[in-house]
Amino acid sequence: MLSAVRSFDLVLLEEGEDYVCDAACNSTSSFPNDITAAGWPQFVESLKNVQNCRNKVIKGRIRLGTKSLIFEPDAFDSPILKLHFQNITAICSSAHVSRAIYVSCTRVISIPTAIYNGKTRYLSAYDVHVAKKAAPGLKQTPSTTTDASATASMGLPGFVFIFAYPTDHIHDEQLSDYLRVWNAYKLNVDTDALNARPAGSFNQALLQPREKPLLGCAASSIHTEPVFCWRLKRMVRHGGYAALTDRAFYFEPSPNFSRKSCKRVPIDRILHIFKRDSGMPSKGESATALEIISLPEDSFEKRVRDSRKLYGCIYLQFKRENDREKFTSTLKSIIPRAFFALESRTFRNEMTQLWRRGILPNFQYIDFLNCISGRSRYDMSHYPIFPWVIADYDSATLDLKDPKVFRDLSKPIGALNAERLLHLKTRMSTLHQADKSNSDPAAASDKEQCTCGDGKCDSCLMRMWNDGFYLYCSHYSTPALVVFFLIRLQPECQLRLYSGKFDSTARTFKSIAETFHNVLHGHSTFFELIPEFYSGNDAFLRNQLNITTQDGRLCDVELPRWAGNSSAQFMKMMRNALESEHVSKHLHKWIDLVFGYKQAGLESIKSDNTFHPLSYLSSVRVGKMPMTRATQNLLRTMEPKAISVQVREFGQAPIMLFETSHSPRLRHPHWQETDDPVDSAPWFIYVKRHSEIFAGGDSDAGEGLRLGRTISQGSSEGHLRQLVTTSPRNKVRTQRLGPLGNEITGAGFAAPDIVYSLSHNGSIMLRHVDKADSVVHASIDRRPLTCATSALGYLCVCSSSGNMTMCNLQAILSVNGGFPLNGPVANGDVVKFGDADEGGFFYRKQLHSDGISCVSFGDGVLTSGGFDETVRQYQLTNSDIRLIGVFDETNGPLAALSCANGLLLTASVSGSLTLWDPRSPHIPIWNHEIRQKAGDSRVVSCGISNRYIQLVSTGESPVIFWDVRMLNSLSSCSGFKRELAAPQFSILGAVCDPNDCVCISGTQGGVPALQLHDLHTRSVLMTTELDGLAYPTIMAANEFGGPHRLLVANTAGENLTLVAQ
C-alpha cells in the first residue's frame, strides 16, 4: 500500500525521464559498507536502531524511470534512495533470495523529505554517497549474471529488492522490464514511457453514467484509438491517456501512482482553451500542447474564504500534433466560446480598448498579452514576462510621482546601461563578422555593396538580421530564471535543475537591489520579472518552508529600504508602481519591445533588442515572421539535442502580436488596493469576475454585442410568399426541367426564364425554363465551380481556385444564335474561352487566396466569402472592380453570407454567426455560436430579412432566428433568440427569404419534400412533395420575378421549379 503520509513526486526524475512503473517490495542491503561519504555512518546507525539488525529489511516501494531506480521507504522519516542508471553496475536475479532482484551500484543518492501542510516536500540538497572502490575505470559485470556474489565481492553497495510475486513467471517479466529499460539507457536509445511498457488505453469505467464518449475511448463515436499524452506541471511531465465525452474532458495517468484515479474537467466549467508550443522543436513536435483553463465547481466566495486557487488548469503535451487537433476540433464544436480569446482578433482588440480606457488594469493586460502570445504559468520554458518598472532600490523612501524612480520602458533591459550596451555591440559585431567570413568568404564584402558608407542603412541592418546578428544570448525569461525567483516556493524545481543541488550562494536570489544591479551591469543577465512580483502574495520572498542549502539555511530576500523591512509593503509598492500614471503612459513602448513590432526584424536591430535566432521559433511556426537564413542554417547544422537545449534553457520570445506601434493608454486611473485576491488574479479570472466591463457581453452564451448604430427593419416583399398568396389553397405547381448536368455544385436563376448550373469540371450550363432544347454550355475555369450570383447583367461565377469570373450572358448566348437553339447541344459542343476572349465574354479576377464558398451582390457591392476565412467586398462598376472592405473575424471558413438593410451577415462552417456593419469591417457588431453536438450540425443558409436574422443548419435546432430590432435595446441575445421546429423533417437545403420566411428542402418520412415557414407566426405556410427528387440539397429563389419562383435540384443535375399559379 502507498504511504498514508508521503506521496511520490515526479520532480525526483531527471530532465527528459519518464515514469515507467512501480511495485511494493522489501529492501535488504549490507549497504553502506565501504562508503566514505561523511554523515553516512550516522544514517546507518539510525537505521540499525530501528530494526536492530545488520542487514536491515525496509518496507517500501521501488519506482522505475527511464533513467533511474528509486526506492521510497514507507517510513517518511527515512530518506528516498535514488540509483541512477549510469552508476548501476548490475541488475540480475538474486542468488540467495527467491523472487528478488539484485542491484549493485557505485553511487547512491539519498534524498531527505519533509511534510509541510500535508504534502511531501524536498527542502534540502541531496546527499551523494560514493563507494570507496568505485574507480572511474571499474569494469561492470554483465547484466545477465544470476550470481550476485561476484558483484558483492568487489565491495560495491548492493540492494536486494524482494517482491511479493505469486509466480516465477511474473518475477521474470519484471526483471526483463528492468533490464530492457537499463540497456536502452546504456545504448542511448530515446526511450519514452510508451516504449518502456505495454500499450494501454483509457479506462472507460471512470466515465460517469450516461456520458457519451467522443474521443479516446473504445466506445467513442468519433475516434476510438487511445490517445497518449503527457501532463505538464512545474518542470515535470506525467504520461497518461486523454479522453473526451459530451460532458467532460478526462486525463488518466498511466501508470498511476497518485491517490486520484483521473483528472476530470466538466465541459460546462471550461473557461478557455489555448494551443501551446511545447515538445522537441528539432523533431517537428513543438506545436503539440493544449492548455485548458476551468472554473471550480464551488463559488468564488468560498474559494476566497478558504484561500484556495480560483481556477483549474490542465496542460497536456500530445505525442502527435494530429492528436491535439482531434481534441481541438471536437472541443470547438462543443464549446466554441472557449477558443474566443485564442482565435478572435475582435476579442484582442476589445481587451486593448478596455486597457486604453483605464478599465482593465496594467497587471491583467500584461498577463493577457502573455497568455495569447503562448506563455503559461504551467510551462517554465514559456513563463509570463513582466517588466522591471522601478529603478530605485536604494532610497529610504519612494515617490511614485517622480519619473526618476522608474526604469525607461522604451528601452530593452539590456540597453539601460549604455556602457554595457556598447561593449555588447562591439563584441557581438566582431563575432558576427567572424562567423560571416568563415561561413561565406564573399559575405565580408557585403558591406561594400551598399552605398550608405557606414553600414547602418535599413538594407544593411536587415542584412544583419537575416544573417543572425544578435546582442543577447538568452531571452527575458528562462527556466533557470523562474526557479531562481521561486526557490523559496518551489525548491524542488531548482534541485531538479541542478541535479540535486541548490545553486551557489553567489547566484541565489537573496536581494532585490543586488538582483537589479546585476541586471543592469552583468554581461549575461538581461532578464525581466515574473508575475509573482506584482501579484500581492509575498510568499516567494520568505523562507517559510525552512529550506536548507548546501551552504546553510536559506535567508529571506533582502528588501529595499523603502519597503520598511516588510515584504507586504514591498509587494504593495511594486503593484502601485505598475499601475502608476507614469507606467501607464509608457507601458505601450515596452509592449512594442516584448510583444510587438520591435521584437524582431529591422526594428529590433534599431532598438537594440535582438536575441539568438532560435529564440523566435514560436513566431516563425505560427507565421508571424519569416524564417531568416541564419535560423535555417542553425536548424540544418545543429544537433537536435543542441537545438532542444537552446530552445528550452535559453528562452523563447513570445509570439508577435502587434505589427505596428501599440496605442498608448488614454486614461490613467488611480489604483485602489483591495483585499480581493481577484484583483491580482490572472486576466481570465479578473474578466470573469468583472464581466460588467464587457458592456453587452454574454460570455456564457458565447455571444457578443458591439453596436455603433441603430438597426432598422427592412421592407422587402421577398420572393417566396407569392407562392402561397397567388396559389389556390396554398397549392403550387412543380415543373421538371431537363438535366442540369452531372456532378453539379450549384444552380440558380441567371434571368427570369434562364437557370444556370455550376459543374465540378469548371463549366456552366444555361437552360431556358420553358424551352427544353435551349441549352448553352460554357467552360470558364479549370477548377471546380462553387457559387455564383447575378450582378449588373453579368453572372459572377466563383471557383475553388479563388477566382471570380464575370460572364457576359448576352455575349455567351449570342455565340450560337442565343435562345432558342436548333436542337440540343451535343456532347463536347461547349463554348470555350481563352485569354483573347477576356473583356468581350468574361472578366476574371482573383478575389481570395483559397476557394470561394459563397457570394452575394447588392447595391453595387459584390460580397464573397472563402475558405481562407475572410469575407471581402468589392465595388462593381462598368469599368472596374475595387476592393473596399475585408472582414477577417469569421472564426473559420465561410459557409454562407447575406447582405441587406446595410448589414452583412456571415456564417462559418463551424457554426459561428457574425453580424457586421460594412462601414466598420474590423469589429463585428454581434456574434453567436450555435451549439450542436459534434458531427450533427452543418450550416445550410443564413439571411437578413425585414425583421429577423436567420440561420438554417442541420441538427437538433435547424432554424434559429433573432428579432433584429431588439439588437438596439438588449445587451444579450438570449432574450430574443427563437427556434423553429420542423419535426420529422431532415433538412438538406434552404433559402432565407427577405420577407420573413424560410423555405427548407429535405425529406419528411423518407419522402423528398419542401416546406415554407412564416417566422412571424412560426407556422408552416406550405408543404409540397418534390416528385421523387432525391437529396434536394440545392435551392435558389428567382430574384428577377416571373412565374418560376424557386429552383430545387440535387448534385446529379435533377431539378424542378415551383411555379406560382
Both 512 and 417 in one domain: the answer is: yes
Both 271 and 398 in one domain: the answer is: no
Residue 199 vs residues 17, 226, 429, 513, 786: alpha-carbon distances, Å = 18, 9, 53, 53, 46
* Domain harbouring 937, CATH code: 2.130.10.10
pLDDT value, residue 94? 72
**Predicted confidence (pLDDT) per residue in 900-938, tens digit:** 888 899 999 888 888 888 876 666 777 777 765 545 678
Both 121 and 178 in one domain: the answer is: yes
Q: Coil, strand, or helix at residue 796?
A: strand
Average the pLDDT over each of 436-445, 447-456, 482-491, 618-627 and give the range with the smallest value. Answer: 436-445
Residue 710 lies in a domain: no
Closest CA to 805 of 777, 829, 825, 833: 833
Does residue 847 have a pLDDT over 70?
yes
How many C-alpha atoms does 264 have within 13 Å on its Cβ side?
17
Share of the chain above pLDDT 90, in %: 38
Residue 102 · residue 158 · CB < 8 Å: yes
- The residue with cell 519569416 is 626
Does residue 210 have a pLDDT over 70?
yes
Domain that holds residue 129: 10-133+157-194
pLDDT bin (cut points 50, 70, 90) of residue 823 is: very low
DSSP codes of every residue in 65-80 = ESSEEEEEESSTTSPE
Residue 678 lies in a domain: no
Residue 957 lies in a domain: yes
Both 486 and 626 in one domain: the answer is: yes
**Strand 842-846 relative to strand 831-832: parallel, antiparallel, unpaired?**
unpaired
390 or 50, which is more confident: 390
**Predicted confidence (pLDDT) per residue in 619-662, tens digit:** 888 888 889 898 889 888 888 888 888 888 898 999 999 999 99
Share of the chain above pLDDT 70, in %: 82
* Domain harbouring 467, CATH code: 1.10.1540.10
Average the pLDDT over each of 88-97, 138-147, 433-442, 912-921 and give the range with the smallest value. Answer: 138-147
pLDDT value, residue 889? 75
Residue 577 lies in a domain: yes
pLDDT value, residue 545? 93
In this structure, what are the phi and psi dihedrals at residue 185, rounded to the nearest 5 degrees?
Answer: -65, -45
Sheet with 903-908, edge to edge strand ranges: 704-705, 926-929, 912-916, 903-908, 894-900
Residue 1011 · residue 985 · CB < 8 Å: yes
867 or 453, which is more confident: 867
Domain boundary among 618, 650, 682: 650
pLDDT value, residue 395? 94
pLDDT value, residue 729? 58
Residue 142 lies in a domain: no
pLDDT value, residue 851? 94
Residue 183 vs residues 85, 129, 541, 725: alpha-carbon distances, Å = 9, 24, 44, 85
Per-residue burial over 442-452, b = 16 or more CB atoms within 10 Å of its CB, e = otherwise:
eeeebbeeeee
**Strand 704-705 relative to strand 977-980: parallel, antiparallel, unpaired?**
unpaired
Both 374 and 323 in one domain: the answer is: no
Both 259 and 397 in one domain: the answer is: no
Average the pLDDT over each of 291-295, 320-324, 508-512 and give the range with the smallest value. Answer: 320-324
pLDDT bin (cut points 50, 70, 90) of residue 535 is: very high
pLDDT bin (cut points 50, 70, 90) of residue 864 is: very high
Average the pLDDT over each of 254-263, 706-715, 1027-1036 and give the range with the smallest value. Answer: 706-715
Domains held by the chain: number:
4
Residue 465 lies in a domain: yes
Residue 441 lies in a domain: no
- Calpha distance 58→51 (Å, rounded): 9
Both 589 and 619 in one domain: the answer is: yes
Both 739 and 787 in one domain: the answer is: yes
Residue 493 · residue 380 · CB < 8 Å: yes
Q: Coil, strand, or helix at residue 620?
A: helix
pLDDT value, residue 810? 80
Q: Which residues contact 448 (CB under 8 A, 6 or more apart)?
A: none
Residue 926 · residue 705 · CB < 8 Å: yes
Domain boundary among 194, 216, 241: 194
Both 603 and 734 in one domain: the answer is: no
Q: Coil, strand, or helix at residue 265?
A: strand
pTM of the model: 0.66
Both 390 and 305 in one domain: the answer is: no
Which residues face 7 on adjacent strands?
Answer: none
Alpha carbon 849 to chain centroid distance? Answer: 24
Q: What's the chain's average pLDDT? A: 82
pLDDT, average across residues 879-903 = 85
Closest CA to 365 of 376, 378, 353, 382: 353
Long-range Cβ contacts of 964-967 (<8 Å, 24+ apart)? 964/711, 964/713, 964/901, 965/711, 965/712, 965/713, 967/705, 967/707, 967/711, 967/915, 967/925, 967/926
Both 187 and 228 in one domain: the answer is: no
Average the pLDDT over each of 298-302, 496-500, 819-823, 838-842 and give the range with the smallest value. Answer: 819-823
Both 795 and 909 in one domain: the answer is: yes
Give the Cα-Cα-Cα angle 653, 654, 658 (nearest 5 degrees). 120
Calculate the CA dihedral of residues 457, 463, 469, 470 and round it to 10 degrees.
60
Residue 664 lies in a domain: no
Q: Which residues contact 387 (CB under 8 A, 6 or more apart)?
A: 366, 407, 409, 528, 529, 587, 590, 594
* Domain harbouring 246, CATH code: 2.30.29.30
- Calpha distance 408→512 (Å, rounded): 18
pLDDT bin (cut points 50, 70, 90) of residue 568 is: very high
925 or 746, which is more confident: 746
- Calpha distance 604→611 (Å, rounded): 9
